Structure formats: C-alpha cells, structure tokens
C-alpha cells in the first residue's frame, strides 16, 4: 500500500538554527500539507500546497516557515530560525484530486529545539 | 466555542464492549467529516469518512447530524487493538481541504 514517508524521524537542533523537514507524498497525489502536533495537544494545520503554490496557510505559518517542492517527489518544510516553541511532531500529508479531504499522513518528524 | 470539540477521555472498557464517541463542530458551513485514529506518538490514520446518511465499516458505525452539528462513532465488540486516541476531524472551509482536528478521546480496551 502506498504511503507518505518523512525524514528524519527525529531532529534535534539549537535555537536559531535552520531546519529542513522532508516528505515524499504518495506518488499520484496532488495536494500536500504540513501539520504539527505539540506534545499533548491537538493536531494543527500549517499549510497546504497545490499546483506548485501555497493554497492556504494558518497563522502559525509565519515568515519563519517556507515550503517547497524541489522535484517531482519531495515536499519540504523549512524553519529558518527555530524557537523553543517550534518543538513538536511535524506531519506531512497528501491527498488526491478525487478525494482531496481524505488525507494520508506520514509517520512524522519529531523536532526538538534546545 | 472550540471549532471541534470531543468528549474528554479516557474511556476504559472491557473487551467486547460497545463504546460511543461524540463530537460537535462549530462551523455550520463545514463540508466533510472524518474519524481518524492515532496511536501513541504515531501519525493520525484515516478510519472513516462520515456521511449524512450514516455509514458502517465492520464494527465501526459513524453518524452525522448536520442540524445539531454533531458527529458520532460507535465501536462494537471492542478489541484490545482498538486502544488508541480517536480524533474527530472536520473540513471547515468550503473550497479548501484544510482539516481541523479535535483534541481526541483516548480509548483503553482491557482484557
């Protein structure tokens, strides 16, 4: 069964450093998303991406965040200057044109900012 | 009022029990509704979509009441493997596929 993959599974970084989280969505999917989940809290939407551009973003997704689809398979989330409060699990998700609301999630990257 | 609100948990039930989860959503313009399951420190996994007519998948039955803005999930004959957190998820913006998650209700099924 096709699945979303994410790397790395765990990233530890120092405050102020840049991090790039990587995702490979399901191959025939056209819609891509990033969500995050702070420990003990609910899953929160960050950004959606379609047709090589951001289609929607939340207020969490400020200027420190950016997304990119550098090639036909990868989808990345960059945090330019990490803060302690960026520590969370970051999930990538994807969906297809037929059922864009049925999103399939990757296993997540646990980001720890020290 | 929170966008998606769920029963606080955890629910502790014996194997074989029937358990029901409830969820309310605040935006009457919401279009699509789902139940996801999340195991500890894992990703959310789509369990089922929820339709106005109600739908069933094996031991799982989901119902939607648009007038009351209420969604439910019923699990019959609980298994140990059903232990997880159940997330009520709503698409709240027409034309966008963004999902809004509830905080989840934890289910613990014991032998």
Rg (CA), chain B: 13
Tokens of B74: 């019923």
Residues whose CB falls within 8 Å of the CB of residue B55, separated by 6 or more in sequence, listed in order: B48, B49, B61, B62
Q: What is the pLDDT of residue B29?
A: 85
**Closest alpha carbon to A36 in A114, A80, A103, A91:** A91
Q: Are B22 and B70 in contact (CB under 8 A)?
A: yes
Walk across the sheet containing A5-7 and list its strands.
A5-7, A19-24, A75-79, A65-68
**CB of A85 within 8 Å of any CB in chain B?**
no
Angle at alpha carbon of residue B43, lines to A102 and B82, rounded to 5°: 90
Q: pLDDT digits over A12-66, tens only?
A: 999 999 999 999 999 989 999 999 999 999 999 999 999 899 999 999 999 999 9
pLDDT at res. B94: 65
Give the pLDDT confidence of A63-104 residue by residue, as tens digits: 999 999 988 789 999 999 999 999 999 999 999 877 778 899
Query: Mean pLDDT, 10 residues at a time, over chain B (111 residues)?
Result: 87 97 92 94 93 90 94 97 97 79 96 95
Q: Cα(B67)–Cα(A95) distance, rounded to whole angstroms? A: 28
The answer to whether residues B24 and B69 touch, using CB atoms and an 8 Å cutoff, is yes
Q: Which residues of B touch A91 (CB under 8 A)?
A: 43-44
Minimum distance, in Å, between the CA of residue A70 and any CA atom of chain B = 22
Is-contact A8 A107, C-beta < 8 A? no
Contact list in A for residue B34 (CB cut-off 8 A) is 101-102
Of residues B43, B97, B99, nearest to A108 (C-beta): B43
Contacts of B87 in chain A (CB under 8 A): 42-43
pLDDT value for A70: 87
Find, among B81, B90, B76, B84, the residue nearest to B23 by Cα: B90
Task: Note whether B22 and B7 are within 8 A (CB).
Answer: yes
Contact between B22 and B72 (Cβ < 8 Å): yes
| Cβ-nearest to A31 among B97, B100, B101 | B97
Query: For residue A42, which residues of chain B lie inside 8 Å, CB to CB?
Result: 87, 101-104
pLDDT at position B95 is 67
């Amino acid at each position: 069964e096709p699945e979303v993959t994410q790397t790395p599974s765990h990233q530890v970084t120092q405050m102020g450093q840049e991090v790039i989280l990587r995702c490979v969505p399901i191959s025939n999917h056209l819609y891509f998303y990033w969500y995050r989940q702070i420990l003990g809290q609910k899953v929160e939407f960050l950004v959606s991406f379609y047709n090589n551009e951001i289609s929607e973003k939340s207020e969490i997704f400020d200027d420190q965040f950016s997304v990119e689809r550098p090639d036909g398979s990868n989808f990345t989330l960059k945090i330019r200057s990490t803060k302690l409060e960026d520590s969370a699990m970051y999930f990538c998700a994807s969906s297809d044109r037929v059922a864009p609301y049925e999103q399939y999630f990757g296993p997540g990257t646990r980001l720890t900012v020290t | 009022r929170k966008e998606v609100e769920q029963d606080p948990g955890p629910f502790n039930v014996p194997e074989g029990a029937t358990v029901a989860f409830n969820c309310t959503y605040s935006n009457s313009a919401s279009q699509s509704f789902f139940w996801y399951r999340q195991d500890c420190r894992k990703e959310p996994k789509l369990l089922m979509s929820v339709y106005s007519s109600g739908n069933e998948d094996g031991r799982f039955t989901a119902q939607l009441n648009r007038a009351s803005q209420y969604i439910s999930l019923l699990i019959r004959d609980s298994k140990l493997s059903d232990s997880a957190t159940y997330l009520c998820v709503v698409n709240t913006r027409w034309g966008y596929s963004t999902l809004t998650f509830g905080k989840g209700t934890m289910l613990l099924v014991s032998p």
